């Protein structure tokens, strides 16, 4: 692949992937969500020398015509565009179906039409739901424990069907919980850090007992690229995971230790998921990605958290620490 399209390039993981692809020598077209402010999301924060190397395409993955035009004259596509906030999916499930399922269908149809060499579809560890066994490998059953996870399961199965039905060169990449600079406050790590940096003595959180397998964003994007560069990953579903778990409570204690040891955690009922919707345990198996690509995480949780804290210290104006962000 010489030229690649990244959907969701204006977002958290997408902007990091766009940068990493540039550094690897790819010609990158960045698909960003159209808006009248002419904002390109996190791409606007890149240095001009990087931004000038990127072809920016404004559109909406829900629109098949725009998607078809975006995929013209590219060799591969990394499809990351999605609605991802779980609490908001309780309020607006229709929008998740439109963006996550129909948007993915539009990408698959256009990729087939243009004979795209590689199609990387982004999944999520949330499709597994609460672990029935650990570590969670790619054979683990799917559980739609939120409208968000249900739409991602649907998108994955559509992608699989295009591989099986039309021989479209699809790979489903399934990152476990990614964190790092540029992540929105709807995620737990920036939620904790921004409250601490704002000087709050009481840190509001939901349930403290669920465990997660946290990937630092630079490790996640290196996994994407390694997977895309291997022919024998076509037709596969592949986890990106550290194979280590930490509870939300333990995570909060570590961040409190690093930033403000006097802070206390308080449970905020508003932030609690419905009982049957809460994913209580995620611990991913990374045996498959190691075997197929040689990928392994480079960052420890402590290193990743330190870099994330440093970023947020200089970007607090982009966050509303006093509000619960769905």
For residue 188, what is the domain's CATH number? Answer: 3.90.25.10
Confirm whether 324 is domain-assigned.
no
Q: Is 256's pLDDT higher than 90?
A: yes
Of 10 and 279, the structure prediction assigns the larger pLDDT to 10
Mean pLDDT of 57-86: 97
What was the pLDDT predicted at 150? 98
CB atoms within 10 A of CB 83: 20
Q: Indicate if 142 and 270 belong to the same structural domain.
A: no
Q: Indicate if 266 and 199 belong to the same structural domain.
A: yes
Q: Indicate if 141 and 13 belong to the same structural domain.
A: yes
Q: Indicate if 205 and 148 belong to the same structural domain.
A: no
Q: Indicate if 249 and 231 belong to the same structural domain.
A: no
Confirm whether 305 is domain-assigned.
yes
Mean pLDDT of 51-78: 98
Q: Indicate if 207 and 63 belong to the same structural domain.
A: no
Confirm whether 326 is domain-assigned.
no
What was the pLDDT predicted at 271? 80
Q: Indicate if 265 and 172 belong to the same structural domain.
A: no
What was the pLDDT predicted at 206? 84
Q: Is 324's pLDDT higher than 80?
A: no
What was the pLDDT predicted at 326? 62
List pLDDT tens digits, range 150-196: 999 999 999 999 999 999 999 999 999 999 999 998 899 999 999 99
Q: Is 325's pLDDT higher than 90?
A: no
Residue 31 pLDDT level (bands cut at 50, 70, 90): very high
Q: Indicate if 86 and 223 belong to the same structural domain.
A: yes
Tokens of residue 114, six digits = 């243009």
Confirm whether 45 is domain-assigned.
yes
What was the pLDDT predicted at 67? 98
Q: Indicate if 29 and 45 belong to the same structural domain.
A: yes
Q: Which domain holds residue 219?
A: 3-178+215-240
Q: Indicate if 89 and 226 belong to the same structural domain.
A: yes
The count of structural domains within the chain is: 2
Q: Is 300's pLDDT higher than 80?
A: yes
Confirm whether 325 is domain-assigned.
no
**How much of the chain is in helix, strand and coil states, percent to nearest 5?**
45, 15, 40
Confirm whether 25 is domain-assigned.
yes
List pLDDT tens digits, range 139-152: 999 999 999 999 99
Lowest mean pLDDT among 34-48, 154-168, 215-229, 262-276: 262-276
Q: Which runs of consecutive H residues, i.e. helices, occur in the chain? A: 12-23, 48-51, 64-70, 86-91, 93-96, 103-113, 147-166, 188-197, 217-228, 248-259, 287-293, 301-313
Q: Domain containing 63 — which CATH number?
A: 3.40.50.720
- With beta carbons less than 8 A apart as the criterion, state whether 101 and 150 touch: no
What was the pLDDT predicted at 285? 98
Q: Indicate if 261 and 146 belong to the same structural domain.
A: no
Q: What are phi and psi of 139, to 5 degrees?
A: -90, -5
Confirm whether 225 is domain-assigned.
yes
Q: Indicate if 102 and 234 belong to the same structural domain.
A: yes
Confirm whether 138 is domain-assigned.
yes
């Amino acid at each position: 692949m010489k030229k690649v399209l990244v959907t969701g390039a204006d977002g958290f993981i997408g902007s990091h992937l766009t940068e990493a692809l540039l550094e690897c020598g790819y010609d990158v077209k960045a698909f960003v969500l159209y808006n009248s402010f002419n904002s390109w999301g996190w791409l606007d924060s890149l240095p001009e020398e990087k931004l000038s190397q990127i072809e920016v395409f404004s559109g909406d993955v829900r629109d098949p015509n725009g998607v078809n035009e975006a995929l013209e004259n590219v060799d591969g596509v990394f499809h990351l565009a999605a609605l991802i906030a779980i609490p908001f999916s309780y309020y607006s499930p229709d929008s998740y179906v439109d963006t996550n399922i129909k948007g993915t269908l539009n990408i698959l149809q256009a990729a087939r039409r243009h004979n795209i060499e590689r199609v990387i579809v982004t999944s999520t560890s949330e499709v597994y739901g609460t672990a029935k066994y650990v570590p969670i490998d790619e054979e683990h059953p799917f559980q739609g424990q939120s409208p968000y996870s249900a739409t991602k399961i649907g998108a994955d199965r559509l992608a699989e069907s295009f591989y099986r039905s039309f021989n479209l060169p699809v790979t489903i990449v399934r990152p476990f919980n990614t964190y790092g600079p540029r992540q929105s406050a709807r995620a737990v790590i920036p939620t904790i850090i921004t409250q601490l940096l704002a000087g709050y003595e009481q840190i509001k959180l939901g349930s403290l007992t669920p465990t997660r397998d946290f990937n630092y964003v630079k490790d996640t994007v290196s996994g994407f690229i390694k997977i895309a560069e291997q022919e024998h990953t076509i037709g596969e579903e592949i986890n990106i995971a550290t194979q280590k778990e930490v509870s939300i409570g333990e995570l909060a204690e570590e961040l409190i230790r690093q930033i403000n040891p006097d802070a206390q955690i308080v449970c905020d009922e508003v932030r609690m998921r419905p009982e049957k919707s809460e994913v209580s345990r995620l611990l991913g198996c990374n045996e498959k990605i190691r075997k197929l690509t040689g990928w392994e995480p480079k960052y420890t949780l402590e290193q990743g958290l330190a870099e994330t804290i440093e970023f947020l210290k200089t970007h607090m104006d982009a966050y509303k620490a006093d509000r619960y962000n769905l």
